[in-house]
Structure 1
Amino acid sequence: MPEQTSIEFVPLDGQPFGAEVRLPSYTTNPADLNDADFQKLKEGLMTYSVLVVPNQENLSPESQHSLTVRFDPTTSSGYGHDPSLFHSAKSILAKDGRSVPTRPEVQMVGNGSFEAGHEGMKAFTLEHPTHHHFHKDILSDEEVARGQTRFYRWHIDAALYELAPPVVTTLLGLVVPSKNEIQKVVYEDTKEVKELVKGATAFASGKIAFDLLSDEDKQFALNHSVVYAPHPYIFINNCKATSDGLTIVSEQPPKEVPLDELPPWEPSKVKKLPMVWTNPITKNQHLQVHGCCVYQLVNSKTGEVVAELEEARKIVHRFMRPAISPQHIYCHGWNKGDLCIFHNRGVIHSVTGEFEPHEKRLMHQCNVASGEDPVLLN
């Protein structure tokens, strides 16, 4: 067999996007790619949106971090969230990860109890996110017993206050469920069914989302921006999500934390981002909205508010819902050692899977706040 001298991509069979990466023979560590091959990796990521690098169970947190920041020359040194807010007991993200002591930009996520020794940790416990804590209407015990799950929360990895959204997230599977365990999502509005491996990470393409819009809705998206709530994950801490995980149910009386009761915030640090972000390599337009954290929609040029909270959520849901239909999403069923690299400015993603407290799952996740906000290029 001839020596593979450069990085290669194999599109994922039968999937709407994504590719497997085959590393060149000179390294088994993607963080050690030479400049030419790393540039190909970056271009491949922007082209395929999600890349899977197998057999990376020995990838260190240091290598994962160095690989992640290499994608963005403007990147800051810190994690994609302010740690004091990310782990605040008043935030919906409070249980979503534990920092690796030697490389705090890398978060441990998963489920179950683990003995001392992993990356210098004392004994620790992780809790897999479940829709039972976050959705307004939940699955019955009978539905769960029949193998149903939900998209927990479709999102972009981003603080959405002060810090710019990370360009890339890397996610490494270390302890994973059996691929023989299959669960399913039943879409409440269409009754369609999506079967997936237990604990699969679901990805939806912002490009597909934009392409599926009507011409009228494309013009709206191109000319409007999203204002995100200050400290958005604290703002919605008492709220519940729609059954598809795309946005928040607006209730009366409102469950959102009043703005004057949030931690101190500054108007200049509130994020106003285009609804559509331009892929820097392909120049494709990606509809990229974190529907659970939306506060207002505004005219991008004038700043005029065109939709307040409840109406903004309805518009975003209508725009994004077609892109999470079964035929348009990629649900990655994990093998031990899979490293998923995804374009955080080109896809949204969601946790899936129902786990018992004793079931073990362990992953390393890394993203780092960018130095620049995403832009729309017409």
Structure 2
Amino acid sequence: MPSATNTLSVEPLDAPVGAKITLPEGITDPSKLNEEDFNKLNEALHKYSVIVIPNQADLPPHSQWVLTSRFDPSTQTNGQNYGHGKEFRHDKSLLRKDGTSIPDQPQVQVLGQGDWPAGHHGLGDITLTHPTHFSFHKDTLTEKQAFEENQTRFYRWHIDSALYELSPPVATTLLGIHVPPHSATQKIIYEDTKEELELTQGATAFASGKLAFDLLSDEDKELALNTHVVYAPHPYIFISEAKATSDGLTMHSEGKELSLDEIPEWEESKIKKLPLVWTNPITGNHHLQAHACCVWRLERSNGEILELEDARNELYRIMRPAISPKNVYAHSWESGDLVIFHNRGVWHAVTGQFKPGERRLMHQCNIASGIDPVCVQ
């Protein structure tokens, strides 16, 4: 472990993405970094995509919000907007059970598992539900596979974003306050290749958008650079009745999506049409960035349009190599870990399931940006 110094230090992880951060001596709250050290932190985020600051269990929600907003100056005009907007609490939304807001800092969400008594930052008694593949995938593990053989699944590969009206956040901060012990391990078995990925219970998995782009053939790179992803209006409501593939990468096309007259009112101008490839503003690298579960169609610059099923199949084809075991970083949580990830550079997925009585408590913050990502060719 690096010793404390008077400047922030960055230690790359032995993983496809990621770096460990040591704060300057005397600094315990990363939101209070001076400009020089924060710039170094920001550069590390864009270079390594996922950065980990240990020993932050007591970080106040306000500080987490301040730190998150520093990564994107455009949020100064709309910094009150949680990245998923208000719609994620809609009774038909796929995200409706994914957490609860801290009353005095609603941009920070409380996530986890189990019953927690009143008193946590102004909240009353709360029951948290860890999202698992059992409620989202078409074909699920058996109880024996999940709880006796300790298998698990990627719940849903995604980027954090409302994908309607609001622009994707630049960064997400995720703070582990109470996490399971590392003695609990689980494994993901890939159905198509039979490869295995061993990880700790509740690990957060990350896949690199840069690597995903780099793995493409020259022909596919050219196609990707000239493709836009059009997301469905109110996408988490649109897909609420549909089911995901067993790797959590996209959805089965079975006609279960809600019709456009079954979802809340929507406006054409608020539909998100984003480049399939986003340019990293610091490194200049290209990142293949898409939320394949929420895609509506793909539009090529040559006029070709791929509608829902074809769009899903195409995104699956080009994204699948990046989630192979050797390409995934599965973060094993320690209490106090503050994980910050470049939401415009990686995709991530929840993993794991918990037995009755097991608990976890985390704080998450991301803020809708004031500008959309761009592709610079």
Q: TM-score range by the shorter chain?
A: over 0.9
* Aligned mates of 2:181, 2:285 — CA distance in 1: 36
Partner of 2:299: 298
Deviations 1:93-126 (A, max 9, x none): 0101100111000000110000000111100000
Matching residue's letter, 2:291: H
1:19 maps to 19
Structure 1 distance, partners of 2:3, 2:193, is 50
Partner of 2:208: 205
Equivalent position of 2:354 in the other structure: 355
Matches within 5 A, 1:207-226: 207-226=210-229
- Structure 1, residues 256-314: CA drift from partner, whole Å, max 9, x if none? 000122101000000000000000010000000001000000024x6x35210000000
The letter of the residue matching 1:277 is W
What secondary structure, in the 3-state scheme, does the structure 2 residue paired with 1:82 have? coil
**Is 2:261 the counterpart of 1:263?**
no
User: In the aligned structure 2, how far is the partner of 1:52 from the partner of 1:63?
Assistant: 16
* Residue identity opposite 1:316 in structure 2: L
**2:187 pairs with 1:184:** yes
Q: CA deviation at 1:226?
A: 0.3
In structure 1, what is the Cα distance between the partners aligned to 2:186 and 2:114? 19
Aligned-pair CA distance for 1:143: 1.1
Q: Is the Cα–Cα contact under 8 Å of residues 51 and 340 in structure 1 kept in the other structure?
A: yes
Match of 1:132 in 2: 134
Distance 1:3 1:368, change over 3 A: closer
The one-character-per-residue Cα deviations of 1:23-66 (angstroms, maximum 9, x if unpaired) are 11131111110001000100010000000000001100000000
- Would you say the 8 A contact 1:111–1:357 is kept in 2? no
State the one-letter code of the partner of 1:361: R
2:334 equivalent in structure 1: 335
Q: Name 2:65's counterpart in structure 1.
A: 65
Q: Which amino acid aligns with 1:34?
A: N
Runs of 5+ consecutive residues of structure 1 not aligned to the other structure: none
Inter-CA distance 309–27: structure 2 relative to 1 (3 Å threshold): same
Q: Retained in 2: the 8 A contact 1:12–1:20?
A: yes
Q: Check whether the contact 1:109–1:126 (CA below 8 A) recurs between aligned residues.
A: yes
The reply on whether 1:105 has 2:107 as its aligned counterpart is yes
> So what's the TM-score if we normalise by structure 1?
0.97
Residue 17 (structure 1) shift? 1.4
d(CA) in 2 for partners of 1:220 and 1:8? 39
Residue type matched to 1:67 in 2? L
Query: Which letter maps to 1:37?
Result: D
**TM-score, normalised to structure 2's length?**
0.97
| CA–CA separation in structure 1 for the residues paired with 2:71 and 2:320 | 29
Q: Distance in 2 between matches of 1:89 and 1:217?
A: 39
1:217 deviates by 0.8
Counterpart AA for 1:32: K
Identity, % of aligned positions: 60
Following superposition, the deviation at residue 358 of structure 1 comes to: 2.0
Runs of 4+ that moved beyond 3 A: none
Amino acid at match of 1:63: S
Q: Give 1:323's aligned amino acid.
A: A
Identify the residue that residue 227 of structure 1 maps to in structure 2: 230
Q: CA deviation at 1:3?
A: 6.1
| Counterpart amino acid of residue 266 in structure 2 | W
Question: Does the aligned pair in 1 maintain the 2:177–2:335 contact within 8 Å?
Answer: yes
Is the CA contact 1:296–1:305 (under 8 Å) kept in the aligned structure 2?
no
Contact kept, 8 Å, 1:158 with 1:165, in 2: the verdict is: yes
Aligned-partner SS, 1:52: strand
The aligned counterpart of 1:43 is 43
Which residue identity does 1:93 align to in structure 2? L
1:2 to 1:243, Cα distance in 2 relative to 1, 3 A:
closer
Distance 1:286 1:198 in 2: 28
Q: Which sections of structure 2, spanning at least 5 residues, go unmatched?
A: none
- 1:210 is paired with a residue whose SS is helix
**Bigger CA drift: 17-26 or 286-295?**
17-26
How far did residue 356 of structure 1 move? Answer: 2.1
Structure 2 residue identity aligned to 1:199: G
**Separation (CA, whole Å) in 2 of partners of 1:282 and 1:31:** 23
Structure 1 distance, partners of 2:89, 2:347, is 22
1:283 paired with 2:284, answer yes
| Structure 2 residue aligned with 1:160 | 163
